[in-house]
């Protein structure tokens, strides 16, 4: 199963369905072996199959098995790695190492079970109630369908998102050279022929200019979603009315994210995450009872450092050592310190129940201070 031909044969012969049926057998050794098989064999197409047949939901909600089977959690994470849409729905978070791709989708309001996108499209009926936001920068298909089942009719391009990316890259200008003489990967443009190239995976060093670019990205998102001035009403009733009009105009509840021009916290955070993944800004996407927000891991220069000494080496930081230290305020287009009062206003109080799929806890123990 470590070789691609073996994985493809496993999926083509319905191996995921066999694994799903046997996972329900309450036998510790069998479940451990099946989880190890998932770890070795899961692919993007296989993760879509596990999602479609309900295996993913079963593994998430079976808390007893998650506690008893040591490999259960690792197998679940391996599926989530290939299906970030489901990970965000069930956990309420995409880390800085998780990337959105063409076909990534988020429901405005989610229920206990998170359906595949093709089921949402198939079951959509008038009157449309809750929108679903989809990211498509390039030629893409429904992410929930295996590659061998996708047709050319499913291909859609969100021209607005493409224009956003082009405009944003024009703001940033040409990449600078790093201290090692190679081009800095912190905001390298993704090749147009393949928008799913993960340039941040190749990033070994970033510089302090990343913070200013993260701030520029925040201002850009606010400008596209509502504007930095108060010319447009972006209150929640206006956002809901705008989304309802879009669903009627497009005759579907599945909305391309680039069509949303009046967005609330979820829409803004989703756009920020989608763009940051393509300009290599280390960004985490979070969703909780207080709304949705983005967290950043950006380097900062040492205040005790002698700034007179030249050389880019003083501004270089290992990308793998970065930790979240800023929250993006997508209402005012700025960065705020994580853990501060401003960050709490953006994220909500820590006791808020997470707005995710699956069963929520019956009680909420609050260890945060409420603010007026």
Q: Is the pLDDT of residue 337 over 50?
A: yes
Are residues 237 and 335 located together in one domain of the fold? yes
CA distance 80 to 59: 11
Of the listed ranges 48-57, 161-170, 317-326, the one predicted with least confidence: 317-326
Of the listed ranges 181-185, 264-268, 346-350, the one predicted with least confidence: 181-185
Q: Exposed/middle/buried for 305, CB within 10 Å: 0-12, 13-18, 19+?
A: exposed
pLDDT level of residue 195 (50, 70, 90 thresholds): very low
Q: Is the pLDDT of residue 350 over 80?
A: no
Are residues 142 and 46 located together in one domain of the fold? no
Are residues 297 and 189 located together in one domain of the fold? yes
What was the pLDDT predicted at 142? 39
What was the pLDDT predicted at 166? 85
Distances (CA, A) of 283 to 57, 120, 296: 26, 28, 5
Q: How many CB atoms are closer than 10 A to CB 80?
A: 22
What was the pLDDT predicted at 50? 95
Q: Is the pLDDT of residue 172 over 90?
A: no
Instruction: At 107, give phi and psi (nearest 5°).
Output: -85, 140
Are residues 43 and 180 located together in one domain of the fold? no
Domain, as residue range, for 180: 105-347
Give the mean pLDDT of the chain. 78
What was the pLDDT predicted at 316? 61
pLDDT level of residue 238 (50, 70, 90 thresholds): confident
CA dihedral 304, 305, 308, 311 (to 10 degrees): -170
The verdict on residue 367 lying in a domain is no
Segment 247-262 mean pLDDT: 92
Are residues 165 and 237 located together in one domain of the fold? yes
Are residues 76 and 112 located together in one domain of the fold? no
Are residues 216 and 281 located together in one domain of the fold? yes
Omega within 30 of 0 (cis) for the link into 127? yes
Q: Is the pLDDT of residue 71 over 90?
A: yes
What was the pLDDT predicted at 235? 78
| β-strand partners of 283 | 296
- How many domains does the chain divide into? 2
Degrees, nearest 5: CA angle 71-76-363? 105
The verdict on residue 251 lying in a domain is yes
Q: Which helix (H) or strand (E) holds 288?
A: strand 283-288
Are residues 255 and 343 located together in one domain of the fold? yes
Are residues 142 and 58 located together in one domain of the fold? no
338: left (phi over 0), alpha (psi -120 to 50) or beta: beta
Are residues 144 and 77 located together in one domain of the fold? no
- Residue 246 contacts residue 282 (beta carbons within 8 Å): no
The verdict on residue 323 lying in a domain is yes
Higher-confidence position of 181 and 205: 205
Are residues 126 and 244 located together in one domain of the fold? yes
Give the CB-side neighbour count of residue 35, counting CA atoms within 13 A: 22
Condensed to tens digits (0 to 9), the pLDDT of residues 211-236 reads 888 999 999 999 888 765 556 667 77
**3-class DSSP assignment, residue 86:** helix
The verdict on residue 363 lying in a domain is no
């Amino acid at each position: 199963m470590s070789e691609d031909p073996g994985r493809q044969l496993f999926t083509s012969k319905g191996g995921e369905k066999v694994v799903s049926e046997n996972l329900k057998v309450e036998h510790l050794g069998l479940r451990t072996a099946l989880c190890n098989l998932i770890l070795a064999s899961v692919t993007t197409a296989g993760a879509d199959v596990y999602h479609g047949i309900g295996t993913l939901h079963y593994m998430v909600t079976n808390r007893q098995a998650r506690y008893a089977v040591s490999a259960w959690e690792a197998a679940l994470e391996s599926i989530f790695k290939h299906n970030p849409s489901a990970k965000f729905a069930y956990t309420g978070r995409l880390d800085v190492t998780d990337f959105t791709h063409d076909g990534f989708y988020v429901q405005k309001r989610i229920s206990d079970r998170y359906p595949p996108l093709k089921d949402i499209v198939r079951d959509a009926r008038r009157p449309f109630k809750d929108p679903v936001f989809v990211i498509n920068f390039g030629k893409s298909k429904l992410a929930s369908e295996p590659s061998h089942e996708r047709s050319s009719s499913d291909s859609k391009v969100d021209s607005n998102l493409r224009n956003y990316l082009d405009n944003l890259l024009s703001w940033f200008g040409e990449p600078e050279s790093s201290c090692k003489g190679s081009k800095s990967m912190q905001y390298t443009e993704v090749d147009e022929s393949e928008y799913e190239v993960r340039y941040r995976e190749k990033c070994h060093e970033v510089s302090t200019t990343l913070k200013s670019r993260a701030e520029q990205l925040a201002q850009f998102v606010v400008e596209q979603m509502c504007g930095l001035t108060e010319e447009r009403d972006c209150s929640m009733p206006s956002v809901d009315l705008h989304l309802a009009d879009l669903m009627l105009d497009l005759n579907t509840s599945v909305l391309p994210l680039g069509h949303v021009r009046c967005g609330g916290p979820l829409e803004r955070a989703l756009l920020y995450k989608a763009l940051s993944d393509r300009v290599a800004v280390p960004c985490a996407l979070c969703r909780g009872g207080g709304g949705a927000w983005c967290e950043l891991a950006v380097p900062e220069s040492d205040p005790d450092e002698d700034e007179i000494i030249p050389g880019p080496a003083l501004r270089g930081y290992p990308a793998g050592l970065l930790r979240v230290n800023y929250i993006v305020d997508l209402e005012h287009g700025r960065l705020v310190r994580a853990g501060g009062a401003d960050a709490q206003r953006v994220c909500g109080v820590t006791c808020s129940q997470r707005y995710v799929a699956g069963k929520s806890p019956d009680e909420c123990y609050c260890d945060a201070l409420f603010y007026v």
